Structure 1
């Protein structure tokens, strides 16, 4: 193996041809062993672009699947450096940015990224890393109300907004600074709105500067040579619903991000070592997983330049566009989510396109039903069932199925989530007694490792709920650890509803129903019902108790008003596609019982 790959192997890592010995105690570890040593204060940007080392040969890094616009690796790096000079608070600083916080005990500049997948989204993230500017990724599907809430939660002081989403941002700003009830107030400075425009010739859009104009400004600026700092410092914020309520802001340090970026590299190098092939050769990826999500962050941002890739980016899912891109660009890797796996498996369109270039396909973000994993495999060249990795926003990558035979491991069939990834430790715990359970017994998966987040921003109560014991993340997922330390996913402990891989907090929808201005209901329960498509995704359904005002109106009128209210305040995937039903008394048990009969 070439010496350049040894940086991904810990000096004490086990040999790939030795046999992993399952643990007999309550804590079990990854068969891959620990992370390789890295500098304590490593910045994510310098993980991907080592200082004082020349760039590798140039190649297309990002291609827009719809327009064909391209950014090469060398162009990407030059643009990142240029934009970072603009974003440094201690440089020329034309935007008037301040120093970013190092944790949630600190205040400072936090830049929101409100955009769909875009070939320049990763540039924005890396410019922030290089400028030591904390950013917060925000779902582009947010309604004005949700955006307003998330900007307050993340304490967003400046924002990059995709041009098509600018109306949503402007509507959110009209909601004001927030009530004086002790909750976080909106601190976004309207003078710090930047637009990500589709027209590179524009310097402004509606009076706001464009990203491209800032990149152009950066070319003219000098940059003092400095040591970038990362490590335990806050790097970025993720939008997460946590266990309940409206979205929370989750803190990811540079240390967390570095670990998430390294895990895939470690497993790829060790797998190649086992197979006796050159690791990390050039790959072409389908870029549909959203960059604001932890899955997309790993794929399009944290692994940049660690392996040669060309990423064909899609701003939204369209099966025909995706199939055309696979055929045109000879895409070799398909990172997917379960509903897309199911659609590709069942669509007759797949027979019209050449998929012979696909070498690897994987699924994440939600449970992948085994039948979908087998069905899509039959349409791909190697016929291998689609593996499903496991992670959370709070810990982006925890477990995955490795290549059968490495470390003497048996295959992880669909329905299992494989073994712990490099650097991870796990426990399976009774969620009620908080006592570790024996192998072969159902319990909540607890995880520990460098990928585990710092906690929730300005929310110590929520942080305490997920860290019952110091360092151990409660995942909220019920699993079974078998005799080989392989993990079998069983169910979701948290009261969350998975809709096409996206989390819906039942309490958020319930609160929205209860807050209807006409006070039509006095109680509400929301749960997921089977969507009937067999892809593991659910539809939100509500059971409501009508108020005296609600009873004065017809059920049809009440349901129409409630659906309209939810539709105006919450994203499409949170809306009550599963329907609404009136009950005399609502309880979760009744809702789940009814769910079983639908």
Structure 2
């Protein structure tokens, strides 16, 4: 099945630096950002001044008090919780066309070392509470300690982004012109789990970003053709968005570092998700829009039942990163007196943000369909293919392939993975199975590959298997990991491991082995990758004649036993 978008074609997209695309125009002054913890505010002009002075400071030689970043010879790592200077630093680097690598603040030393080594980061900006971790991992990969800066806040012996900006202003270091970029100019790396081993670094270009922003503008125009833009009962009469999604993740990065600047919007920045904190600040700042991931929806609903906050300012929600069960979407849509619904879609890091969309207000091109991921974005094409490579029919599941200027070129320093995912004709294999109805509405069926989504984050079973096999006591000789029921939503799976004992493992009690493996994985993997589904000792891992682990067989046997146990 070959799907074309219902939208009008996108206009030809220019070769342009995405910072120029957003800001080289007459712009009104408004409150662009608010720190939800301190209450500190920045207007759009203050933000742009800081980003441009930051570019001057980053590119200035060390002798002038700058960071001495050399054009075309740097990769800047960012390891921090959400904060105002995170956005400023990103745009400073875009001005310089200096690429950056987005590093998870949940990282263990094992994960961060891998990310630093893969990205070849030449300097780091980190949150104060992550300095110790950053220093340890930097030493491991040979990154000099004087190349570690603080992003926002203070740490003894370390210069910060703020220090650099202040120095540039005091010394009147000239602001550099925005460097030109073409469509293939690398903007940043974001990490995405693959079907084998450790996470891969997805290469996002300036052209990818410009296309994704143009797609959003086209969708907004189509919605407003049916529904006039709402009026907002906010201090400045503009929408106010809650920015809690982690900026190192594709969803949060795009929403609150790029898309929010297409039209006047105030972003209330939250360092980390806390449902009670969020419910307190919604009425304080008259928040009108919240982007969520499914794993936080139920805690948010439960907290509201306890606190009963005034949610009259809320107009709509967005949900992404994983499938949102219709029941939760319906509860969200009814949570406030003025909420209109939940915008959903489908996307992945390799599409920059989205490939399909279903707005909160259906109408016109957007037909209401419960459980749908919406329709294809403008400027894209899609194929739905059977396992034998032939085209699936209407309503028939098959693997989704995508094409468009928002699709990335591949994976950093990983030609093999790039060849496997990006195939002839410019198509990208998503590894996800969809069906498409007669109206062009996409419906997620299941994942063709083994990747799990836990709390909206991708989890690679093979990464966990690799960590289990690396346990230093050599307690096991084989391992398999797959998703089982037990997540925060009905469709979310949590990782479970099946392991085969080695001779060393058989000399210890099973409980001791399980405890040692569990402690090891918790030390080396982020919390959302922990084996919440448990660890089971088995005699052998079921495999196909070609050696492929039969994860489905393990999952089915587990679920069958779990159901039988529940009936007792």
With the length of structure 2 as denominator, give the TM-score of the two structures.
Answer: 0.91
Partner of 2:565: none
Q: 1: distance between equivalents of 2:69 and 2:345?
A: 38
**1:207-262 deviations in Å (ceiling 9; x for gaps):** 22111011112222013546532421111111111222111111011000111223
Partner of 1:48: 22
Partner of 2:355: 398
Partner of 1:445: 400
Q: Report the CA distance shift for 1:90/1:38 in structure 2 as closer, same or farther (over 3 A).
A: farther
Q: Contact 1:338–1:535 at 8 Å: present in 2 too? A: no
**1:265-316 deviations in Å (ceiling 9; x for gaps):** 2211221123244799721001111111111121111124321111111111
Of the three residues 187, 203, 207, the one matched with 2:157 is: 207
Query: How far is the alpha carbon of 1:133 from its aligned partner?
Result: 0.7
Of the three residues 441, 456, 467, the one matched with 2:422 is: 467
Q: Contact 1:88–1:132 at 8 Å: present in 2 too? A: no
**For residues 219-298 of structure 1, what are the structure 2 equivalents within 5 Å?**
219=169, 220-225=172-177, 228-277=180-229, 282-298=238-254
Q: 2: distance between equivalents of 1:350 and 1:47?
A: 44
Q: Report the CA distance shift for 1:348/1:285 in structure 2 as closer, same or farther (over 3 A).
A: closer
Secondary structure of residue in 1 paired with 2:373: strand
Secondary structure of residue in 1 paired with 2:531: coil
**1:14-59 deviations in Å (ceiling 9; x for gaps):** xxxxxxxxxxxx32222122223332x2101011111xx44312x2
Partner of 2:437: 482
Q: 2: distance between equivalents of 1:115 and 1:570?
A: 18
With the length of structure 1 as denominator, give the TM-score of the two structures.
Answer: 0.87
| Runs of at least 5 residues in structure 1 that lack an aligned partner in the other structure | 1-25, 101-107, 178-185, 200-204
Q: Contact 1:523–1:546 at 8 Å: present in 2 too? A: yes
Partner of 2:463: 508
Q: Report the CA distance shift for 1:273/1:387 in structure 2 as closer, same or farther (over 3 A).
A: closer
**1:531-577 deviations in Å (ceiling 9; x for gaps):** 15435322211110011100100111111111111111111111111
Query: How far is the alpha carbon of 1:347 from its aligned partner?
Result: 3.6
Q: Contact 1:64–1:312 at 8 Å: present in 2 too? A: yes
Q: 2: distance between equivalents of 1:480 and 1:93?
A: 57
Q: Contact 1:244–1:495 at 8 Å: present in 2 too? A: no
Q: 2: distance between equivalents of 1:300 and 1:511?
A: 34
Q: 1: distance between equivalents of 2:230 and 2:519?
A: 56
**1:357-408 deviations in Å (ceiling 9; x for gaps):** 111111100011111111222223346453321100111210011443313x
Q: 2: distance between equivalents of 1:559 and 1:61?
A: 50
Partner of 1:6: none
Of the three residues 359, 367, 385, the one matched with 1:410 is: 367
Which region of structure 1 is more displaced relative to structure 2, 387-396 or 77-86? 387-396
**1:59-88 deviations in Å (ceiling 9; x for gaps):** 221111122122221110000010011223
Of the three residues 38, 44, 47, the one matched with 2:13 is: 38
Q: Contact 2:95–2:179 at 8 Å: present in 1 too? A: no
Does 1:375 find its partner at 2:331? yes
The aligned length equals 544
Q: 1: distance between equivalents of 2:222 and 2:65?
A: 44
Q: Report the CA distance shift for 1:165/1:532 in structure 2 as closer, same or farther (over 3 A).
A: closer
Secondary structure of residue in 2 paired with 1:127: helix
**1:475-518 deviations in Å (ceiling 9; x for gaps):** 11110011111111111111111111111100010011111111
**For residues 278-427 of structure 1, what are the structure 2 equivalents within 5 Å?**
282-349=238-305, 352-382=308-338, 384-395=340-351, 396-402=353-359, 403-407=361-365, 409-413=366-370, 415-427=371-383
Q: 1: distance between equivalents of 2:177 and 2:408?
A: 30
Q: Report the CA distance shift for 1:515/1:77 in structure 2 as closer, same or farther (over 3 A).
A: same
Q: 1: distance between equivalents of 2:118 and 2:475?
A: 29
| Runs of at least 5 residues in structure 2 that lack an aligned partner in the other structure | 543-550, 563-568
Q: Report the CA distance shift for 1:491/1:435 in structure 2 as closer, same or farther (over 3 A).
A: same
Query: How far is the alpha carbon of 1:151 from its aligned partner?
Result: 0.7
Q: 2: distance between equivalents of 1:539 and 1:462?
A: 25
Partner of 1:591: 554
Q: Contact 2:5–2:380 at 8 Å: present in 1 too? A: yes
Q: Contact 1:84–1:127 at 8 Å: present in 2 too? A: yes
Q: Contact 2:239–2:264 at 8 Å: present in 1 too? A: yes
Q: Give the root-mean-square deviation of aligned CA atoms.
A: 2.1
Partner of 2:546: none
Query: How far is the alpha carbon of 1:153 from its aligned partner?
Result: 0.9
**For residues 162-173 of structure 1, what are the structure 2 equivalents within 5 Å?**
162-173=127-138
Q: Contact 1:394–1:453 at 8 Å: present in 2 too? A: yes
Partner of 1:19: none
Q: 2: distance between equivalents of 1:89 and 1:543?
A: 54
Q: 2: distance between equivalents of 1:589 and 1:406?
A: 41
Which region of structure 1 is more displaced relative to structure 2, 152-161 or 238-247? 238-247
**1:142-168 deviations in Å (ceiling 9; x for gaps):** 011100000111111111111111111
Q: 2: distance between equivalents of 1:231 and 1:89?
A: 26
Which region of structure 1 is more displaced relative to structure 2, 164-173 or 154-163? 164-173
Q: Report the CA distance shift for 1:564/1:224 in structure 2 as closer, same or farther (over 3 A).
A: closer
Q: Report the CA distance shift for 1:381/1:29 in structure 2 as closer, same or farther (over 3 A).
A: farther
Q: 1: distance between equivalents of 2:501 and 2:405?
A: 48
